[in-house]
């Protein structure tokens, strides 16, 4: 979904101020083969967090060679029972490829229809751009997936963190009315996300 490039490549200079779109290119004279190589998805991520899932991002910020090329990839590691919580990518469709284990992958349409599937090794599930989605490890051990995006920087709106862990926090009365729950429920969730 990113714009088409007007040159072969443009290795991002991450130190430079991003301009209208994307990052400025580093000087062509300093480009080497290493700029097209990224080993950041080769290691298991640390799943020691409340969700039990870890997303290692392979976007343009991690892999500057992707700048202007319109695609990127993440690695997602899942401990037993882990959930990669409901989130949105505002700028990209997502393709989930399961490498190991068994994942329940699901999304909800703008018409409020829930689509989901248990996905196993070698199989794909596609999540249309901008829709709320999640993955849950429903297998008997760890699980591993790689996710591919048609954007160099898909962006993430993590719903639990966005709604209950923002800075500054969303006022409690908005969440109480919005979710039709009592104040202690809102406070309890907020406390889990640093608010």
Nearest approach, Cβ of residue 113 and ligand GLV (Å): 19
Site mask for Mn ion (CB under 5 A), range 80-109, x = bound: --------------x---------------
3-state SS track over the chain: CCCCCCCCCCCECCCCCCCCCCCCECCHHHCCHHHHCCCCCCCCCCCCCCCCEEEEEECCCCCHHHCCCCCEEEEEEECCCCEEEEEECCCCCEEEEEEECEEEEEEECCCCCEEEEEEECCCEEEECCCCEEEEEECCCCCEEEEEEECCCCCCCEEHHHHHHCCCCCCCHHHHHHHHCCCHHHHHHHHHHCCC
Total number of residues that touch ligand GLV (CB under 6 A): 7
Task: Give, in order, the Cα–Cα distances in Å from 114 to each of 67, 88, 138, 150.
Answer: 34, 14, 18, 23
195 among annotated binding-site residues: no
Nearer to Mn ion, 11 or 105 (CB): 105
For ligand GLV, the binding residue among 59, 68, 72, 84 (CB under 6 A) is: 84
Which entry of Mn ion, ligand GLV, none binds 76, CB below 5 to 8 A by partner kind?
A: ligand GLV
**Could you say which of ligand GLV, Mn ion, none residue 72 binds, taking C-beta under 5 to 8 angstroms by partner kind?**
none
Residue 92 contacts ligand GLV per CB under 6 A:
no
Name the binder of 151 from ligand GLV, Mn ion, none, CB < 5-8 A by kind: none
- 87 assigned ligand-binding residue: yes
For position 2 contacting ligand GLV by CB under 6 A, the verdict is no
Q: Is 89 annotated as a binding residue?
A: yes
Beta bridge partners of 75: 56, 146
Footprint on this chain of ligand GLV (rule: CB under 6 A) = 55, 74, 76, 84, 94, 135, 147
Footprint on this chain of Mn ion (rule: CB under 5 A) = 94
Question: Would you list which residues are annotated within the binding site for Mn(2+)?
Answer: 87, 89, 94, 133
């Amino acid at each position: 979904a990113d714009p088409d490039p007007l040159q072969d490549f443009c290795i991002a200079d991450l130190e430079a101020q991003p301009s209208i779109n994307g990052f400025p290119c580093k000087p062509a004279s300093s480009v080497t083969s290493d700029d097209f190589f990224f080993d950041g998805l080769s290691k298991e991520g640390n799943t020691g967090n409340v969700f039990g899932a870890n997303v290692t991002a392979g976007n343009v910020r991690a892999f500057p060679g992707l700048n202007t090329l319109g695609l990127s990839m993440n690695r997602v590691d899942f401990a037993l029972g882990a959930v990669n919580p409901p989130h949105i990518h505002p700028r990209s469709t997502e393709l989930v490829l399961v490498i190991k284990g068994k994942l329940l992958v699901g999304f909800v349409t703008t018409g409020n229809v829930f689509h989901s599937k248990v996905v196993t090794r070698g199989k794909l599930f596609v999540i249309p751009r901008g829709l709320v989605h999640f993955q849950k490890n429903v297998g008997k051990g760890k699980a591993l997936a790689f996710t591919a995006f048609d954007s160099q920087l898909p962006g993430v709106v993590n719903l639990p963190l966005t709604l209950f862990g923002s800075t500054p926090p969303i006022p409690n009365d908005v969440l109480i009315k919005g979710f039709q729950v009592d104040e202690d429920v809102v406070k309890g969730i907020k406390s889990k996300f640093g608010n």
